[in-house]
Structure 1
Amino acid sequence: MRNLGIILLLTQLTACSQLCDCQPAKTTGTNQSATENTATSTIAEEMQAESAAAAENSPQVGSSGLEVVNTRPMQEATPVNSTNEPSQFDQLLADPNAKPIMQLTAGRLQRRVLPSEAGQVFAPEQPASPYPQLQHSRKELLDYAAQAAFKLAGFDALRGAKVGVTSFVEFDPTLRQTTAVGNQFAEAMVSLLPQYGVDVIEYKLTRGITIGPAGDLALSRDVKELQDNVGMDYILTGTVVATKRGLQIHSRVVSVSQHKVIAATSTLIPHLVLQQIQP
């Protein structure tokens, strides 16, 4: 009996110890469940907040299928408190006893010659054109002479022929008055016609070359120094007629043997170009 009582006592003590061990475990399990429930509810709340924010930011579509623009007024910026401070110049103007910052000295203005006007400063007193002075032109006398040479070279009779070029004279009763424009136009034709295949004869060529301290000369207007026969087939000559628009130059190629005009052309040189010609 005594042994049986001891066994029952040990059995009760064992049961009590097991019961005590289970209580903390149960409490711990309860705490874990509560923590899990709290985390789950927090995640759900965050997802709901994100969904609401996405719904606000996403474009809304009305019943007609058009996007609804958010018309909520934006928050105004805080105004900046600024004050307009007067500058130093304003302070000087407001002060009747103020002195100027820089002492100014009145001077007399003098007009300077522009680069485009430099050629007109040394222009001759008697220009080639009797009309008022005009501005410089982009074209030169050589450009108009090239037009005349191109037209004359187009005649078949001048191909391979020997042509002598004389001065262009004024159209007057004498036909003996030469001008700077006529002489320069003739010199330009001497240089341009060979470029178009016309043989130009230089009849002012002397019998020999004259050597001197001023230079070596091969041209002359003295008939005694010139050669007798030069063998010209045609002569290029012409007249100069003054008009309101400029000088009209009539060029003609005349046969030496038959006195027949085989080629002719007319060129107008505006007054704008004549102002640039030196006599």
Structure 2
Amino acid sequence: MVVSDVPWYISLRFLGLLIAGWLLLVGVTALAAYRAVSSTLQPVDAMTSKLAEITGGDLSQRVPVPWFHDELRRLAERANQTLDRAERAVEQQRRFASDTSHDLRTPLTAMHTELDEALLHPEETDWPRTARAVLDSLERLQLMVASLLDIARLDAGAPGRREPVDLAELVKSELVRRARKVTVTEQLTPGVVVDGDPLHLSRLLGNLLDNAERHAEHNVTVEVARDDGSAVLEVVDDGDGIPPDQREIVFQRFARLDASRRKDAGGTGLGLPIARQIAENHGGTLTIGDSPCGARFVLRLPLRS
């Protein structure tokens, strides 16, 4: 008797159809998954292609943002935000380089002109006066280079020392070593302590005092106090003051108002920007407040816990 390999209750035709259907289902599923994944990754390909096109010379382009609110959309938005910050930083560096080259050329041109005129008529030249003029230009150039080095360190985020600093003692030590050009009134609350770099905070205070003395008529007031959990240092002069619409302009690098140019033609326009950057690096703020007379610079720093 011959025994069949396939039991009688199984149909070979049905089995073949079942296998064919299974293979077809697997193929359709794989194709659908491939198309779904390709469709999902298409925005990623578009973003990758756009990022490859963006160069340092042109940061104005942005990656396409997908329509659906999902992770890829958030990724595209975050990438565009990063490009926005990069574009602003590069533009700021370009303006800074342009302004720096212009302001560095000014004292160099003045020295060149003085010496050139002196050498054309050496017998008629007042050499002591020429030497003083060249020395003034050199001092301005030295001040500007020192300020540029400070800005480079601050921009690089170089960490400074952190130690307790009593603002009242800082003001006293700064005023003791300064040759006062105007009367300075002190209103200092003792024991107002912050965590900071003493050298950087001294530079901040020195820049504020330099600015106040240049614009004061007779008096500068320096006040240290506590206010709502913050350490507050105010430097107020009795000069012409700063109009409200120009109070942020003075914190821009190389920005100098017309009144400032008349008061001090040799300024660099870097003192106040450096002071604000030091304040921000210490977690504080430096602003210009309202005052019945003159300019009122207000520094706020977190009190030492």
**Fold conserved between structures, TM > 0.5:** no
TM-score of Structure 1 vs Structure 2, range by shorter chain: under 0.3
From the CA coordinates, give the structure whose radius of gyration is larger: 1
Q: Which has the higher helix share?
A: 2
Q: Scaled by the length of structure 1, what TM-score is found?
A: 0.22
- Select the structure with the greater relative contact order (CA < 8 A; seq sep ≥ 6): 1
